[in-house]
C-alpha cells in the first residue's frame, strides 16, 4: 500500500485530500481520503497483550528447604489501539427544514408614466347661417345710346359689383370630450424582501448498512487481504461496513 500526497503538496495528485494506492492481485486500487467525518464513538479497548515470557532459570543452588512458590510474572504491556475504522457511508438526507419566514413587504412600485392624450374630439356641428350681408351699392348708370333715328334703347348698363361678404357666423358649439386615453404601463415591481432564516438541520439519518466485514492490512508491505489477520503476521485487522 503506497500513500498518495494531497493536491496541495502535489498538483498532479488524483486525490484532493490524499489517499492510498492498494495493490491487489487484480491490479492497483486508488482510495482517496474523504473529508473529515464526525468523530466516531469510542473504540473498544484492545485485547490484553500476550503473557510475559517466564524468567530464566536461576543457577542451581544447594539443596535447601522447599522454597515458596515464585510470584506471578508481571502483565504484558497493553496491546496497541486498533486503527480507526473506515469512513462510514453517508447518512440519508435529513428531513426538509421548516420554510423560512416570508420576507417583509417590498416597497411600492414607482408610479407609471401618465397615459397618452386622448384623441381629438369629433368635428362639432356646423354653425348657424350667418345673417344676410348688406345690399351692395347700386351700379353706375349705363351711358346713353348714340342718337339715331328713333334709336333703340341703349344697352343695359353693366351689373353692379358684388356686395362685400356678410360677417363671420358665430363659432360652433364645443365638440364632445375625447375618449379616455389608454392606461399607463404597470409600475416596476418592488424590491425582493430579505430571505427568511434557515430552517433547523434535520435529524441524522440511519446508517446505510449494518453489515460488516474484515480486512487485514500488512504493516510491513502494506498489502491488504480480506479476512482478519492471523496472529504473528504483523498485520492490523480493520472492520468495515459493506454495501447492502
Q: Cα(241)–Cα(90) distance, rounded to whole angstroms?
A: 12
What pTM value is reported for the model? Answer: 0.19
**Per-residue pLDDT tens digits of the chain, which is 244 residues long:** 899 999 999 999 989 889 999 988 888 888 898 877 778 788 788 788 788 788 778 787 788 777 787 777 777 777 677 677 677 788 777 677 676 566 567 577 576 677 676 577 677 778 777 777 677 788 788 777 677 676 577 677 778 777 777 677 677 677 777 788 788 787 777 777 788 788 787 776 555 567 788 888 888 787 888 888 877 667 888 887 766 5
How far, CA to CA in Å, does 147 sit from each of 142, 143, 150?
15, 12, 8
Range of the domain at 12: 1-35
Task: Tell me, yes or no, whether 19 lies in a domain.
Answer: yes
Task: Report long-range pairs for 144-151 (Cβ below 8 Å, ≥24 apart).
Answer: none
Query: Which pLDDT belongs to residue 188?
Result: 79
Query: Which pLDDT belongs to residue 215?
Result: 85
Task: Tell me, yes or no, whether 225 lies in a domain.
Answer: yes
Query: Which pLDDT belongs to residue 12?
Result: 92
190 is written with which cell numbers? 418592488
Task: For cell 495493490, name the residue.
Answer: 23
Task: Tell me, yes or no, whether 14 lies in a domain.
Answer: yes
Query: Which pLDDT belongs to residue 4?
Result: 93
Task: Tell me, yes or no, whether 153 lies in a domain.
Answer: no
Please state the domain count of the chain: 2
Task: Tell me, yes or no, whether 21 lies in a domain.
Answer: yes
Query: Which pLDDT belongs to residue 85?
Result: 67
Task: Tell me, yes or no, whether 1 lies in a domain.
Answer: yes
Query: Which pLDDT belongs to residue 9?
Result: 93
Q: Cα(185)–Cα(109) distance, rounded to whole angstroms?
A: 12
Task: Tell me, yes or no, whether 9 lies in a domain.
Answer: yes
Task: Tell me, yes or no, whether 237 lies in a domain.
Answer: yes
Amino acid at each position: 500500500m503506497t500513500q498518495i500526497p494531497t493536491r496541495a503538496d502535489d498538483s498532479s495528485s488524483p486525490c484532493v485530500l490524499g489517499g492510498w494506492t492498494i495493490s491487489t492481485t487484480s491490479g492497483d486500487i486508488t482510495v482517496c481520503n474523504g473529508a473529515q467525518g464526525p468523530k466516531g464513538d469510542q473504540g473498544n479497548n484492545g485485547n490484553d497483550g500476550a503473557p510475559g515470557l517466564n524468567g530464566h532459570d536461576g543457577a542451581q543452588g544447594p539443596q535447601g528447604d522447599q522454597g515458596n512458590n515464585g510470584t506471578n510474572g508481571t502483565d504484558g504491556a497493553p496491546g496497541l489501539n486498533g486503527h480507526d475504522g473506515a469512513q462510514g457511508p453517508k447518512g440519508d438526507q435529513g428531513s426538509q427544514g421548516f420554510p423560512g419566514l416570508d420576507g417583509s413587504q417590498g416597497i411600492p412600485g414607482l408610479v407609471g408614466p401618465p397615459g397618452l392624450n386622448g384623441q381629438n374630439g369629433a368635428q362639432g356641428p356646423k354653425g348657424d347661417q350667418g345673417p344676410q350681408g348688406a345690399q351692395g351699392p347700386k351700379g353706375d348708370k349705363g351711358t346713353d345710346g348714340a342718337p339715331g333715328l328713333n334709336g333703340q334703347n341703349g344697352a343695359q348698363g353693366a351689373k353692379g359689383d358684388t356686395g362685400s361678404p356678410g360677417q363671420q357666423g358665430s363659432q360652433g358649439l364645443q365638440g364632445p370630450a375625447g375618449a379616455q386615453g389608454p392606461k399607463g404601463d404597470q409600475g416596476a415591481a418592488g424590491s425582493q424582501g430579505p430571505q427568511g432564516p434557515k430552517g433547523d438541520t434535520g435529524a441524522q439519518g440511519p446508517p446505510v448498512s449494518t453489515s460488516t466485514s474484515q480486512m487485514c492490512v500488512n504493516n510491513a508491505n502494506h498489502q491488504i487481504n480480506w479476512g482478519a489477520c492471523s496472529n504473528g503476521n504483523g498485520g492490523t485487522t480493520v472492520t468495515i461496513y459493506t454495501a447492502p
